[in-house]
């Protein structure tokens, strides 16, 4: 999978891709990630990329021309399955969307800044808009890193233990059950007996029951779907 990220702050983005699972995916050639600094497509000596909004109001808006130039340049070299805009005024990212995107070949992720992008960018180019939650970040860079992490770890071959993504929270719209490791007793707190029993059907049944219990308590809305 190839991911092209258009950003005003490429340095803010680098670290998540240079560590842990995303680095591993890149090292194994299962993912290619490229950063494109929007400023390089800006106007004049100052490489202007934003301007005041028509109609007045606080906050600058990213202009369409620099973004269009960058997207058109990328599109000239290959076809893209999705052009995604990270923005808080969109549907919230969930596991189903991450699963869906992990099967794509080429995607562009556009990160917003300031008041966001000129609406015409969204109308002309964007095929999918994603928020990572009901709060506003300074820019879409961290949101893009979150999206990439959620997607890249699902690409076949990235995770060492292939089954572990399948047992993640949300993979079946349930939160994960509690997990334990050694010691089996800590300051009088014991690991549930069933997990030490070696009886795997019983362990599976216990885990499912706990997953439902946890989901009902913390995220009952997931059970409505
Ligand atoms: N940009 C700013 N806030 C965001 C959010 N919550 N999700 C995605 N992109 C954003």
- Position 159 in a domain: no
Expressed in angstroms and rounded, the spacing between residue 221 Cα and the centre of ligand 1 is 22
116 and 214 assigned to the same domain:
no
Tokens describing residue 50: 């934003």
Q: Which two tokens stand for residue 56?
A: 């007045």
Q: How many domains does the chain have?
A: 2
Instruction: Give buried/exposed letters for 178-205 (b at 16+ CB in 10 A, else e).
Output: eeeeeeeeeeeeebeeebeeeeeeebee
Residue 160 lies in a domain: no
Cα of 81 vs centre of ligand 1, distance in Å, is: 22
Q: What is the pLDDT of residues 110-122, one digit of tens each?
A: 999 878 999 999 9
DSSP label of 94 = -
Domain boundary among 122, 152, 182: 152
Residue 219 lies in a domain: yes
Shared domain check, 129 and 25: yes
64: domain CATH number is: 3.40.1280.10
pLDDT in tens, 32-61: 999 999 999 999 999 999 999 999 999 999
- Give me the pLDDT at residue 169, please: 76
Ligand 1 cavity residues, CB under 6 Å: 86-88, 112, 131-133, 135-137, 140, 143
Alpha-carbon separation of residue 216 from 69, 95, 205, 208, 220 (angstroms): 48, 18, 17, 12, 4
128, 188: one domain: no
- Provide the residue-wise pLDDT of the chain in tens; the chain has 225 residues: 999 999 999 999 999 999 999 999 999 999 999 999 999 999 999 999 999 999 999 999 999 999 999 999 999 999 999 999 999 999 999 999 999 999 999 999 999 987 899 999 999 999 999 999 999 999 999 999 999 999 999 999 999 775 577 778 777 889 999 999 999 999 999 999 999 999 999 999 999 999 999 999 999 999 987
Residue 135, classed as helix, strand or coil, is coil
Assess whether 122 and 201 both reside in one domain. no
If asked whether residues 32 and 92 sit together in one domain, one would say: yes
- Residue 97 tokens read as 């969307």
Q: Whose CA is nearest to atom 2 of ligand 1?
A: 137
For residues 148 and 175, state if they share a domain. Answer: no
User: Is there a single domain that holds both residue 129 and residue 32?
Assistant: yes
Please give the distance, rounded to the nearest whole angstrom, from the Cα atom of residue 169 to the centre of ligand 1.
22
Domain of 139? 2-152
Query: How many secondary structure helices (H) and strands (E) does the chain include?
Result: 9, 9
């Amino acid at each position: 999978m190839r991911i092209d990220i258009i950003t005003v702050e490429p340095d803010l983005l680098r670290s998540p891709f240079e560590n842990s699972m995303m680095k591993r995916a890149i090292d194994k050639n299962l993912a290619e990630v490229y950063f494109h600094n929007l400023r390089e497509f800006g106007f004049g000596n100052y490489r202007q990329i934003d301007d005041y909004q028509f109609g007045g109001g606080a906050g600058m808006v990213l202009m369409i021309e620099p973004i269009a130039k960058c997207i058109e340049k990328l599109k000239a070299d290959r076809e893209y399955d999705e052009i995604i805009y990270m923005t808080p005024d969109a549907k919230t990212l969930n596991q189903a969307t991450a699963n869906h995107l992990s099967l794509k070949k080429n995607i562009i992720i556009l990160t917003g800044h300031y008041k966001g992008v000129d609406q015409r960018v969204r109308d002309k180019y964007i095929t999918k808009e994603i928020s990572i939650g009901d709060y506003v970040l300074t820019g879409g860079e961290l949101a893009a890193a979150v999206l990439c992490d959620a997607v890249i770890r699902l690409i076949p071959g990235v995770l060492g233990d292939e089954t572990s993504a399948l047992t993640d929270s949300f993979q079946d719209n349930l939160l994960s059950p509690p997990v334990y490791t050694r010691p089996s007793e800590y300051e009088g707190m014991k690991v549930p007996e069933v997990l030490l029993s070696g009886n795997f059907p019983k362990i599976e049944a216990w885990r499912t029951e706990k997953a439902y219990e946890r989901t009902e308590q913390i995220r009952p809305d997931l059970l409505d779907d």
